[in-house]
Amino acid sequence: MTASYKKYILNFKRPSGTSRGVLTEKETWFLKISDGDNFGIGECGILRSLSHDDRPDYEDKLKWVCNNINLGEEMLWEELREFPSIQFGVEMAFKSLNAKDPFLLFPSAFTFGEKTIPINGLIWMGDKQFMKEQISEKIEAGFNCIKLKIGAIDFNTELDLLESIREDFSEKEIELRVDANGAFTPKDALRKLNLLSKFQLHSIEQPVKQGQINEMANLCRKTPLPIALDEELIGITDVTEKENLIQTIKPQFAIFKPSLIGGFRGTEEWKNICETNDVQWWVTSALESNIGLNAIAQYTFTLNSELPQGLGTGGLYTNNFESPLEVYNGNIQYNPAKKWEINF
């Protein structure tokens, strides 16, 4: 068996704002393995300043994986606990290698084109007009669940935006999620949550920065609206530590990004712990190319979640790969008649 990797820069169609800054490009690496007759491809992607494995020796570890690919998926995954995105790429590549079609990792009614996955429409941060334009576009496109990134512009302006949505659409018509990406301080978080709760929100993701476990636990006890952990899960690789985190904070929801939490196996660990502790969850992509998004979407369908998932990021880039994935009427679907076009 042989393995190689290639770096690829994904370019955003337009700058996309979060509370951590504006994104114009996204780095990713593709891991290709071959046994002579067949090949498999996996995606290893990091988010700068967020991924646990955003570190100087990242490519050195990729080289190590390629040199030691014959250790096999199980042993490699254990050796890569400090590199969750490479864990994901390795899992994906082996599943791809062992599949009849390298892009059909989890054959199902989804990949047969028979069923779809409901997703949320993502609204990026920007000035009020830009955000209103995005909201209108998502509603016209048939989304009934919208997720807004908040925390970068004036908070009162964000409240005005939410109020304007609720003036036109009730809670039954449009489900609203907001993602603060840790933008609130523990001191003002509860006050802001109380103000946000007036708009019948489904949930708020990561109101305060990760690592403030006692503060987050206190918020989850007192909150007037459901809180979803996101960044809080990143960097925790030990199963006992995962259990302690969920049992201490007691969140209402958790969000799983396979690239950031150790791939499918890491996601399964978190999922089992959350379900044991009555914590609901959904799956979100982490700005992967369509190669990684394809694997995450296929896997997510097998989990049988009824909640809208966060899988609508495939259309963000100018140089993504043509794939069978399509977003239509607030759902992501797989069109078996469409072919992959890979240009690297």
Answer whether 151's CB lies under 8 Å from 180's CB. yes
Considering the candidates 26, 138, 147, 257, report the single residue annotated as catalytic: 257
| Helix, strand and coil in the chain, % to nearest 5 | 40, 25, 35
Answer whether 139's CB lies under 8 Å from 169's CB. yes
Helix (H, G, I), strand (E, B) or coil at 338: coil
Q: How far apart are CA 117 and CA 293, in angstroms?
A: 13
DSSP 135: H
CA neighbor of 315 nearest in space, from 105, 64, 10: 10
**Beta strands 145-149 and 121-123, pairing class:** parallel
Q: How far apart are CA 163 and CA 195, in angstroms?
A: 11
Q: Which residues contact 333 (CB under 8 A, 6 or more apart)?
A: 110, 113, 116, 117, 325, 326, 327
128 is catalytic: no
95 is catalytic: no
Integer distance in angstroms from the first to the last C-alpha of the chain?
Answer: 21
Answer whether 39's CB lies under 8 Å from 32's CB. yes
Q: How far apart are CA 178 and CA 147, in angstroms?
A: 5
DSSP 169: S
Q: Which residues contact 316 (CB under 8 A, 6 or more apart)?
A: 10, 12, 13, 16, 287
Helix (H, G, I), strand (E, B) or coil at 172: coil
Considering the candidates 26, 32, 138, 149, report the single residue annotated as catalytic: 149
Q: Any idea which residues carry the catalytic annotation?
A: 149, 257
